[in-house]
């Protein structure tokens, strides 16, 4: 069958299919490029960066020794004068945080009143006021022990706390789910090596109401004893009339349990059900007892949220010497200091190792691989009292490095100690990992700061030469700073965000001044992502840091502390002077529960006689408007307002983003994610088959066109004359990741997915998708992400050749050639077509075209993009080739260049260099206004650039 239709705007693009016509039918396409402009002055594409800078891959927690910044969001569940009641799971983080963990924390209470977020109370948690203790059911929800079972065997996981009592009780439950009073509690102290429970007692389904109605007495004679196998056996007498039993545990005996609530120190506006609660506290090397329950005592989450990176444990651990974080002196000689340094007391005879596993052999695939042709540098600041020895070395895969280990003595003055080293070549089949670190020993005390490892060919956390070159060649207009989000409760404050690179532990050592400097040096604009948990003072400080001028010779640092900080970092002029615009995004995918607590839920208006109920998206928009309203109070707002471009992030499958836009009139940019396949699509990992490649090539029109149309139609209904920019905050090839939303992807399927999604075909599909959305009117589009390696990355690892994957390569080429030009209307006269079946979230498409043309006019240059969506053997027996004719609105040109992949549609650079975009200078056609392509390769992109063009009138 042949498709013959007129395509404008949204309807330009077409698709291939996975079923349909026979290969004997005509495979010719004919398009007409019209002079009418569809999307004028098209901006260059943008890119997200998750980590960037020399040393970032080795120092994933920075390298400074800073306080842990805790931030959390809760929802009040009931009214109370000076106490916050909330879901116990929120207050204790599913039995992770103990009684008193956040005593003294700052509390902000926010409420929606007549369509506006208001801070109705600022307070602190009273000392002894953070309550997170009670009886926790051991059995799965909705299940109980049978009435015949009057015993239960318990054990403990390796990360549970040992050596202290665990408390247990039992309650009987009747057939209606009502509970008896709890039995008299018992306690058991876990043995050093708990055993495994071998007895599997049957459970039965029964919904427990949690209510006591007096129908059952409490179980009696509850006892607990350790068994010879290292488990604990609980037993009790049967309760007459019981339908079953529920077993509970607690860290505390019943007389010390306080329930789940937060008592406030002061008095103020009463708490109302539905209020948003923000909790903020700093921790300076806390002990496990301060921040962890027995359940997660030794779990990695405890150290990652509250611990000090690079330490082998937490303060107070038995095998650790005493450690503490100490504020730097005002005149410290330490370069690029943060707030604190690490003080270690070695006088008890315990030495300490500071370091991490951070390198591996080439076959490992996860950790960085060291290049034997490069020089690497370890540096650290130390100051000692007494006899202190330091020894830097590498264990594991690089244990035999010339000049290592390096030993030196530490004296009483702050000094920077530096060790340069090179590694020998190792086998490409080596999978072993290596650990870099320094061992401190002796009789005395030692202060430590700024542990760093990086290559010597650029400064620490500056761009490495190969990354600078790749980004400069990309033509991207902005970099989206993804390292500042997804922090969960272990986050940062404004002080850490604006610190020198290497300081902040929860941002991988990245900082705002580091990223602004990199972005400015590339001639790009920043796309800032900042978590939603800042206080009003921090939002105002951020405006000052970005926009307030500061003259060290005249201005008072106390009056302008954030501008003074920026000036002290070597940038006295406001950052706003350096950029055309600054994108500003609060949070990341604030609809996605993976990134909780920095997500939004429905709320109700608390205004008098106002019963409005807001969707989660509307709450997001109201909160963004709240943040912007605070920032507008800054005396420096006018300087920032001229540059700032607030961005909202929606969800392509619903109206979350549209709802947000309705409630945030100050936000002009609405974006959503637009991946090709992957977990976002619900289609699973793509297969390396003709049908798999065909599904990728079909994505632009079958999904992207409909998605873009939906958003633009929605905007047309609600805009009301308001200028709105639509686009994507993340897009490009998508991936199914094992463990993400419960999915399972085998190593073999993962490898297939990598080869398909990093193929030349996926590159053509990516360019097709971006331009499909541009034809729909999208202005801001973002590729996720710039980086090296597997999954959502743009380039191969350096040991695999370091080449860009085709998706990035094609977008970069279009940025250089077509960005800034006017996207022109294209009409399809005839296009080979096939039917596409409905699949997962895809709609059925009849007679979908297998080719697409895009054209951009810039000055006297015309760029024509030709896409083939056909794949050999889809349907079986077809070769996927076609001829194409494109009629152009020109009467002459001086030069014609063609760009195309060097490999076929299956070629990829993930497993080694296989394909690059090549250019050929062609003879101008005899008919300047007619481009003929006799044999367009299947599943491919080609770009034709006419220079010195004379356009038809």
Q: Could you give the percent of the chain with pLDDT greater than 90?
A: 94
- Supply the DSSP string of 106-133, one letter for each residue: EEEEEEEETTEEEEEEEEEEEEEEEEEE
Q: Indicate if the pLDDT at residue 87 is higher than 50.
A: yes
Number of Cβ within 10 Å of residue 37's Cβ equals: 15
Cα distance between residue 601 and residue 591, in whole Å: 8
Cα distance between residue 719 and residue 724, in whole Å: 7
pLDDT of residue 680: 84
Pair (734, 839) in one structural domain: no
**Higher confidence at residue 19 or residue 497?**
497
Average pLDDT over residues 328-336: 97
Average pLDDT over residues 733-756: 92
Pair (349, 446) in one structural domain: yes
Domain termination site, one of 795, 812, 829: 812
Pair (684, 791) in one structural domain: yes
Note the pLDDT tens digit of each residue in 833-869: 999 999 999 999 999 999 999 999 999 999 999 999 9
Domain termination site, one of 457, 484, 504: 457
SS (HEC) of 659-694: HHHHHCCCCCEEEEEEEECCCCCCCCCCCCCHHHHH
β-pair partners for 166: 188
State the CATH number of the domain containing residue 313.
2.60.120.260
Q: Which of 543, 567, 540 is nearest to 556 (CA)?
A: 567
Cα distance between residue 165 and residue 111, in whole Å: 42
Cα distance between residue 907 and residue 917, in whole Å: 12
> Is 232 within the bounds of a domain?
no
What is the average pLDDT score of the chain?
95
Domain termination site, one of 427, 457, 487: 457
Pair (807, 848) in one structural domain: no
Cβ contacts of 311 within 8 Å, gap of 6 or more: 303, 320, 323, 342, 352, 354
pLDDT of residue 6: 31
> Is 160 within the bounds of a domain?
no
Q: Indicate if the pLDDT at residue 9 is higher than 50.
A: no
Question: For residue 738, what pLDDT band results from cuts at 50, 70 and 90?
Answer: confident
> Is 802 within the bounds of a domain?
yes
Range of the domain at 20: 2-43+821-951
Q: Indicate if the pLDDT at residue 73 is higher than 50.
A: yes
Per DSSP, the three-state class of 761 is: helix
Q: Indicate if the pLDDT at residue 215 is higher than 90.
A: no
Q: Indicate if the pLDDT at residue 7 is higher than 80.
A: no
Cα distance between residue 753 and residue 687, in whole Å: 6
SS (HEC) of 830-842: EEEEEEECCECCE
- How many CA atoms within 13 Å lie on the side-chain side of 482? 19
Pair (781, 884) in one structural domain: no
pLDDT of residue 19: 27
Pair (485, 611) in one structural domain: yes
pTM, entire model: 0.95
Q: Which of 583, 589, 584, 646 is nearest to 617 (CA)?
A: 589
Pair (683, 745) in one structural domain: yes
pLDDT of residue 740: 80
Domain total for the chain?
3
Cβ contacts of 799 within 8 Å, gap of 6 or more: 362, 369, 371, 428
Q: Alpha carbon of 126 to those of 261, 262, 654, 764: distances in Å?
A: 11, 8, 42, 60
Average pLDDT over residues 284-301: 98
> Is 193 within the bounds of a domain?
no
Do residues 833 and 13 touch, judged by C-beta distance below 8 A? no
H/E run at residue 33: strand 28-39
State the CATH number of the domain containing residue 893.
2.60.40.1180
Average pLDDT over residues 268-274: 98
> Is 571 within the bounds of a domain?
yes
Pair (732, 845) in one structural domain: no
State the CATH number of the domain containing residue 643.
3.20.20.80
Number of Cβ within 10 Å of residue 380's Cβ equals: 22
Do residues 679 and 739 touch, judged by C-beta distance below 8 A? no
Runs of H (alpha helix) within 505-607: 512-521, 536-547, 561-568
> Is 219 within the bounds of a domain?
no
Cα distance between residue 33 and residue 825, in whole Å: 6
161-164 long-range contacts (CB < 8 A, ≥24 apart) are: 161/190, 161/288, 161/292, 161/293, 161/294, 161/295, 161/297, 161/298, 162/189, 162/190, 162/191, 162/192, 162/194, 163/189, 163/190, 163/192, 164/189, 164/294
Question: For residue 742, what pLDDT band results from cuts at 50, 70 and 90?
Answer: confident
Measured at the CA of 509, the angle between CA 507 and CA 512, to 5 degrees, comes to 75
Average pLDDT over residues 30-36: 98
Question: For residue 213, what pLDDT band results from cuts at 50, 70 and 90?
Answer: confident
Q: Could you give the percent of the chain with pLDDT greater than 70?
A: 97
> Is 258 within the bounds of a domain?
no
pLDDT of residue 25: 44
Average pLDDT over residues 270-283: 99
Pair (329, 353) in one structural domain: yes
Largest CA distance in the chain: 100
Pair (825, 892) in one structural domain: yes
pLDDT of residue 739: 83
Pair (764, 902) in one structural domain: no
Do residues 207 and 174 touch, judged by C-beta distance below 8 A? no
Considering only 532-546, 739-753, 785-799, which range has the smallest mean pLDDT? 739-753
> Is 285 within the bounds of a domain?
no
pLDDT of residue 27: 67
Cβ contacts of 86 within 8 Å, gap of 6 or more: 74, 75, 76, 77, 260, 261, 262, 277
Pair (524, 554) in one structural domain: yes
pLDDT of residue 2: 41
Q: Indicate if the pLDDT at residue 594 is higher than 50.
A: yes
Do residues 608 and 115 touch, judged by C-beta distance below 8 A? no
Q: Indicate if the pLDDT at residue 21 is higher than 70.
A: no
Do residues 166 and 249 touch, judged by C-beta distance below 8 A? yes
- Supply the DSSP string of 846-910, one letter for each residue: EEEESEEEEEEEETTEEEEEEEE--BTTBSTT----EEEEEE-SEEE-SEEEEEEESS-TT-BSS
């Amino acid at each position: 069958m042949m498709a013959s239709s007129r395509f404008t705007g949204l309807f330009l693009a077409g698709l291939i299919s996975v079923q349909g016509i026979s290969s004997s039918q005509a495979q010719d396409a004919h398009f007409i490029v019209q002079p009418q402009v569809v999307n004028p002055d098209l901006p260059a594409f943008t890119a997200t960066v998750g980590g960037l800078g020399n040393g970032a891959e080795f120092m994933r927690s920075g390298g400074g020794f800073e306080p842990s910044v805790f931030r959390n969001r809760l929802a009040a569940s009931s009214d109370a004068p000076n106490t916050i009641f909330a879901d116990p799971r929120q207050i204790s983080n599913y039995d992770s945080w103990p009684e008193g963990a956040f005593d003294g924390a700052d509390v902000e209470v926010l409420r929606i009143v007549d369509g506006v977020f208001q801070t109705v109370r600022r307070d602190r948690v009273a000392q002894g006021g953070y309550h997170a203790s009670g009886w926790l059911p051991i059995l799965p929800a909705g299940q109980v022990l049978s009435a015949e079972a009057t015993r239960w065997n318990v054990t403990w996981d390796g990360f549970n706390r040992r050596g202290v009592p665990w408390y247990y009780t039992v309650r009987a439950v009747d057939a209606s789910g009502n509970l008896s009073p709890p039995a008299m509690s018992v306690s058991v102290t876990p043995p050093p090596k708990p055993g495994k429970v071998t007895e599997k007692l049957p459970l039965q389904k029964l919904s427990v109401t949690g209510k006591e109605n007096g129908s059952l007495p409490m179980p009696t004679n509850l006892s607990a004893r350790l068994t010879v196998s290292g488990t604990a056996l609980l037993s009790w007498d049967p309760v007459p009339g019981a339908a079953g039993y529920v077993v509970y545990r607690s860290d505390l005996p019943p007389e010390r349990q306080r329930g789940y609530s937060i008592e406030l120190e002061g008095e103020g506006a009463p708490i109302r059900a539905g209020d948003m609660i923000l909790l903020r506290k700093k921790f300076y090397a806390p002990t496990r007892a301060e921040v962890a329950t027995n359940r997660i005592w030794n779990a990695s989450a405890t150290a990652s949220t509250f611990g000090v990176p690079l330490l082998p444990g937490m303060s107070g651990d038995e095998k650790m010497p005493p450690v503490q974080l100490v504020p730097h002196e005002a005149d410290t000689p330490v370069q690029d200091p943060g707030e604190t340094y690490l003080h270690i007391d070695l006088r008890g005879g315990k030495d300490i190792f500071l370091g991490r596993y951070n390198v591996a052999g080439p076959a490992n695939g996860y950790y960085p691989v060291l290049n034997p042709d490069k020089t690497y540098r370890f540096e650290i600041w130390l100051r000692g009292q007494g006899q202190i020895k330091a020894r830097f070395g590498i264990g594991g895969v690089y244990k035999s490095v010339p000049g290592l280990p390096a030993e030196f003595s530490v004296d009483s003055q702050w000094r920077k100690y530096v060790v340069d080293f090179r590694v020998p070549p190792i086998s490409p089949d080596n999978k072993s990992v290596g650990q870099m670190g320094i061992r401190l020993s002796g009789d005395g005390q030692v202060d430590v700061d700024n542990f760093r490892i990086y290559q010597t060919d650029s400064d620490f956390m500056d761009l490495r030469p190969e990354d600078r070159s790749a980004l400069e060649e990309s033509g991207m207009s902005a970099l989206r700073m993804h390292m500042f989000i997804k922090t969960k409760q272990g986050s940062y404050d404004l002080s850490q965000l604006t610190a020198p690179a290497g300081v902040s532990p929860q941002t991988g050592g990245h900082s705002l001044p580091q990223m602004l400097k990199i972005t400015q040096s590339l001639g790009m604009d920043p796309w800032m992502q900042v978590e939603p948990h800042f206080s009003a003072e921090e939002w105002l400080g951020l405006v000052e840091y970005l926009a307030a001028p500061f003259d060290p010779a005249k201005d008072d640092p106390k009056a302008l502390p954030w501008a003074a900080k920026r000036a002290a970092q070597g940038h006295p002029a406001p950052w706003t002077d350096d950029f055309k615009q600054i994108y500003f995004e609060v949070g990341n995918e604030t609809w996605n529960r993976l990134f909780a607590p920095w997500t939004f839920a429905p709320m109700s208006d608390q205004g008098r006689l106002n019963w409005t109920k807001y969707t989660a998206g509307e709450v997001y928009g109201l909160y963004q408007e709240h943040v912007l309203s605070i920032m507008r109070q800054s005396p420096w707002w006018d300087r920032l307002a001229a540059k700032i471009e607030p961005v909202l992030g929606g969800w392509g499958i619903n109206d979350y983003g549209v709802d947000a836009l309705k409630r945030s009139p100050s936000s002009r940019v609405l974006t959503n994610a637009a991946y090709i396949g992957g977990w976002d699509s619900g289609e699973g990992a793509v297969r390396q088959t003709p049908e798999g490649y065909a599904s990728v090539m079909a994505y632009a029109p079958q999904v992207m066109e409909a998605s873009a149309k939906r958003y633009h139609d929605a905007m047309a209904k609600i805009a009301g004359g308001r200028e709105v920019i639509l686009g994507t905050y993340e897009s490009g090839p998508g991936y199914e990741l094992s463990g993400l939303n419960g999915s399972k992807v085998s190593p073999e399927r993962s490898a297939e997915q990598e080869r398909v999604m990093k193929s030349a075909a996926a590159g053509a599909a990516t360019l097709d998708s971006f331009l499909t959305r541009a034809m729909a009117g999208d202005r801001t589009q973002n590729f996720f992400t710039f980086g090296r390696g597997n999954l959502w990355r743009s380039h191969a690892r350096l040991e695999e050749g370091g080449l860009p994957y085709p998706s990035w390569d094609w977008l970069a080429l279009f940025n250089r050639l077509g960005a800034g030009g006017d996207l022109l209307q294209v009409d399809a006269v005839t296009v080979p077509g096939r039917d596409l079946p409905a699949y997962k979230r895809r709609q059925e498409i009849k007679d979908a075209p297998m080719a697409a043309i895009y054209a951009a006019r810039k000055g006297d240059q015309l760029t024509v993009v030709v896409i083939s969506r056909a794949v050999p053997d889809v349907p079986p027996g077809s070769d996927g080739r076609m001829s194409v004719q494109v009629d152009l609105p020109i009467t002459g040109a001086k030069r014609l260049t063609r760009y195309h992949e060097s490999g076929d549609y299956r070629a990829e650079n993930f497993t080694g260099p296989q394909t690059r975009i090549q250019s050929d200078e062609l003879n101008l056609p005899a008919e300047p206004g007619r481009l003929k392509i006799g044999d367009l390769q299947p599943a491919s992109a080609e770009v034709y650039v006419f220079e010195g063009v004379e356009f038809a009138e």
